[in-house]
Structure 1
């Protein structure tokens, strides 16, 4: 069962999954996070250039990757769980750099999203629809001494006569082993991972897009993600980093945004794409932003991945953030694209 009282997992590295065009596979690369937290620097335009992408530590053919943080006493440690359209599962132990087969999922998933909560991992379909075991959890069974998938209830709105299949636009773990999700045109619901039950929080949407990271503090703590912004008529997650206080939400109003920060300001000619945020534990986070350096796509265009380490602490609604100097990854074009950051 998920537990909110266990200490948070502290990670020493970030895993990048890249698609290798030459072999049609994915490769895992371990990024040591410690050097990113060695130089506090408030300058949002400063950046150290040219960090080499480490050699691949593992290779696989699977299409979806999920993070399993704590696990259980008999099989603890950070893991990357890979799944495919045939319901197959592979488990990669990050510390041991070892790959093993896993259990079959009960049903294939259409563009899944996942969250690690407590000692398990929860996988939702991005566009929920009625159906058997479309939402599942991966947990360790101490009696059978192995990992197994378990079906979890679908959100109640999928059974409403007027429901039209819509996308989950935001989700975040929260205090008490809950998961909050916003579904387009539906509102925000939360799932209790211990009681396996859903609750409607309101008709409003969470003020960010994508998957947030929860940083525990006094009370419920805060969820950090990129502020949803309007860009060319579309809602984009390319806004600044923001902190959302879920405890302030009511049935009539969404949670309050407690802080907004611009951790990196790119040159004006760079074109951004969807950023990613990784929480390493104890309030340490790495912000990944992706850019094309030439808006015209000319011969001088190159891909740049900028990593900025930040440390946050939240107590009684007061937030302190320390930004470290941004660094870029030297990324060779033939390696394909970074498709997952875990």
Structure 2
């Protein structure tokens, strides 16, 4: 989370220039480093990306912004973001391994908060709201969920000097999640009010039967059931103000928009939603990687970025992993709008493809806009 003060529109005092707003970039996380079982964070200029050709590129033109060697081979790392910071759990299976924080504004790397034991190798999803990072955990089937929150908290006055004035801290949300032990969370989204998190649960015992959509108010720590229907997304959706709708990934390769749920009402009627006619991912079923999911990021002003990792053409699955350039990363940027008939369609669609190495079958590319 960024620890900075925002200047006044006129610089705060006469004669002072307003503070320049840093340009945002895409930050792409891949398990592509030639050291093996290690990760890279690539900083990508969207404007330069859109100016490139549609040919297949071998790697990225610039060096990675950060490279991380895994402390244990064949184990993944967890990445999530809030503000201008990327939080990295270097070994999600070990409670004694510290987390790291990469500040994308300063390119600085520092020690982060050690995750609670409840979060070790258990996180279902994370979402930032009200300056706090929330994590829902579900270790195994038939075990209860927990909801954890991480934020900056003041240091105790009686702590020995010198000490920082602020620190990261984890705590359990006082109200436990209202999900049954066999429920899984399939989709979630932050309401445009900035403090209400919506999430949909399915019961895995009955072929993922929808259990309902719930919301959590970060101000009051209260849960609410809104209906026995589910949000039509896979994973996280983002609010796009130009559409006045949530936007996320729909099954079978389409982008989906959905009306925003009311924070206060309960309804038996499913929300209205639409999908694009154009397929933006899963275009080549025979080249799909079974465990690698696409990742979507919202860049503001109705623009999105989508990344997907697939097998390189002519490469067999068993030969694709390792330092072999066996995969292709498709990176798309696009806008969305409703046409005259109210149908959802893409605009300004650009796709660039990069030949990359991949070391872990179960790791998906992750993209952030920061």
Q: Distance in 2 between matches of 1:223 and 1:85?
A: 33
Find 1:107's aligned residue among 92, 112, 117.
117
1:308 aligns with 2:332: yes
2:178 is paired with a residue whose SS is helix
The alpha-carbon deviation at position 295 of structure 1 amounts to 8.4
> Is the CA contact (8 Å cut-off) linking 2:124 and 2:185 kept in structure 1?
no
Q: Write the deviation string for residues 52-99 of structure 1: whole angstroms up to 9, x where unpaired.
A: 3342322333744343332xxxxxxx1111123344322111122211
1:35 is paired with a residue whose SS is helix
Find 1:172's aligned residue among 181, 185, 189.
189
> Is the CA contact (8 Å cut-off) linking 1:36 and 1:308 kept in structure 2?
no
> Is the CA contact (8 Å cut-off) linking 1:270 and 1:295 kept in structure 2?
no
Equivalence map 1:27-106=2 (5 Å):
27-38=40-51, 47-50=54-57, 52-53=59-60, 54-60=62-68, 61=70, 63-70=76-83, 78-83=84-89, 84-87=92-95, 88-106=98-116
What does residue 144 of structure 2 align with?
Answer: 130
Q: Distance in 2 between matches of 1:245 and 1:210?
A: 16
Q: Write the deviation string for residues 301-339 of structure 1: whole angstroms up to 9, x where unpaired.
A: 942211110123689x88674232211012145798654
> Is the CA contact (8 Å cut-off) linking 1:16 and 1:30 kept in structure 2?
no
> Is the CA contact (8 Å cut-off) linking 2:248 and 2:257 kept in structure 1?
yes
Larger C-alpha radius of gyration, 1 or 2?
A: 2
What does residue 201 of structure 2 align with?
Answer: 183
> Is the CA contact (8 Å cut-off) linking 2:336 and 2:345 kept in structure 1?
yes
The alpha-carbon deviation at position 27 of structure 1 amounts to 2.5
> Is the CA contact (8 Å cut-off) linking 2:32 and 2:357 kept in structure 1?
no
In structure 2, relative to structure 1, the CA distance for the partners of 1:304 and 1:210 (3 Å cut) is same
What does residue 224 of structure 1 align with?
Answer: 247
1:253 aligns with 2:265: no
Q: Write the deviation string for residues 95-128 of structure 1: whole angstroms up to 9, x where unpaired.
A: 2221111223333321431112232221111568
Q: Distance in 1 between matches of 2:317 and 2:296?
A: 26
In structure 2, relative to structure 1, the CA distance for the partners of 1:103 and 1:299 (3 Å cut) is closer
Q: Which has the bigger relative contact order, CA under 8 A and spacing at least 6?
A: 1
In structure 2, relative to structure 1, the CA distance for the partners of 1:51 and 1:13 (3 Å cut) is farther
1:149 aligns with 2:170: yes
Q: Write the deviation string for residues 112-156 of structure 1: whole angstroms up to 9, x where unpaired.
A: 31112232221111568437xx32122123564222223214554
Find 1:280's aligned residue among 299, 302, 307.
299
Moved more, 58-67 or 277-286: 58-67
1:175 is paired with a residue whose SS is coil
Q: Distance in 2 between matches of 1:10 and 1:215?
A: 20
Q: Distance in 2 between matches of 1:200 and 1:115?
A: 19
Unaligned runs of 5+ in 1: 1-5, 40-45, 71-77, 229-237
Q: Distance in 2 between matches of 1:216 and 1:80?
A: 25
Q: Distance in 1 between matches of 2:154 and 2:336?
A: 36
Q: Distance in 1 between matches of 2:343 and 2:47?
A: 26
Q: Distance in 1 between matches of 2:49 and 2:233?
A: 25
The alpha-carbon deviation at position 10 of structure 1 amounts to 7.5
The alpha-carbon deviation at position 240 of structure 1 amounts to 0.6
1:80 is paired with a residue whose SS is strand
TM-score (norm 1): 0.74
The alpha-carbon deviation at position 215 of structure 1 amounts to 1.9
